[in-house]
């Protein structure tokens, strides 16, 4: 199976998650992990499973991820399995009532990524998933790399 994982990352946390998924899925598959700055639309050719991940920035995916998704021509992902993930802060550690309300309204990056992938024709094979960082710059919370590997492995079964 040809698998493409595209990610963005400012402080390296989403990159670690993407790399871990790549390593996990790499056994027996043709896996490419691409930072968004290196990703061109032609990388999508022949892909069977596309996974896209972004840090949550102001409740959304990063601007480069949004732009990449927007520019995928309609129908390109028809017949392609898709999944989306993000990194995000632990809301219990955020001491702002306003932010809690905004997160309830606007959520995180993974869901809009998944919606966009489906809009372009993709078949969603997992619920959008978030992985937790401690504070804005991380590091990843304990166990998140393992959880990412398990999430990716589950996708292969679908």
Ligand X SMILES: Cc1cc2nc3c(=O)[nH]c(=O)nc-3n(C[C@H](O)[C@H](O)[C@H](O)COP(=O)(O)O)c2cc1C
| Chain residues in the site for ligand X (CB under 6 A) | 9-15, 55-59, 87-89, 108, 133, 136, 138
Cis peptide bond N-terminal to 49, omega within 30: no
Of the two residues 79 and 139, which places its CB atom closer to ligand X in the complex? 139
Q: Which residues contact 155 (CB under 8 A, 6 or more apart)?
A: 49, 51, 81, 83, 125, 126
Of the two residues 51 and 77, which places its CB atom closer to ligand X in the complex? 51
Q: Find the shortest distance in angstroms from Cβ 131 to ligand X.
A: 8
Helix, strand, or coil (residue 66): helix
Distance CA 136, CA 117 (A): 26
Q: Find the shortest distance in angstroms from Cβ 158 to ligand X.
A: 26
Of the two residues 24 and 87, which places its CB atom closer to ligand X in the complex? 87
Q: Find the shortest distance in angstroms from Cβ 124 to ligand X.
A: 22
Report the alpha-carbon angle 21-69-16, nearest 5: 25
Of the two residues 2 and 57, which places its CB atom closer to ligand X in the complex? 57
HSE-CB for 157 with a 13 A CA cutoff: 6
Report the alpha-carbon angle 87-82-72, nearest 5: 95
Supply the DSSP symbol for 130: E
Of the two residues 13 and 24, which places its CB atom closer to ligand X in the complex? 13
Distance CA 49, CA 21 (A): 12
Q: Find the shortest distance in angstroms from Cβ 94 to ligand X.
A: 8
Q: Find the shortest distance in angstroms from Cβ 65 to ligand X.
A: 11
């Amino acid at each position: 199976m040809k698998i493409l994982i595209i990610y963005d990352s400012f402080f390296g946390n989403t990159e670690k998650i993407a790399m871990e998924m790549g390593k996990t899925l790499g056994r027996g598959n043709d896996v490419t992990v691409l930072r968004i700055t290196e990703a061109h639309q032609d990388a999508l050719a022949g892909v069977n499973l596309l996974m896209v991940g972004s840090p949550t920035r102001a409740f959304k995916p990063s601007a480069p991820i949004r732009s990449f998704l927007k520019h995928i021509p309609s129908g390109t992902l028809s017949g392609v399995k898709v999944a989306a993930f993000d990194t995000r802060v632990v809301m219990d550690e955020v001491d702002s009532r306003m932010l809690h309300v905004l997160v309830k309204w606007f959520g995180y990056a993974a869901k809009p990524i998944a919606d966009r992938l489906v809009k372009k024709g993709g078949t969603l094979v997992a619920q959008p998933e978030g992985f937790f960082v401690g504070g804005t710059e991380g590091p990843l919370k304990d166990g998140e790399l393992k959880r990412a590997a398990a999430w990716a492995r589950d996708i292969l079964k679908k």
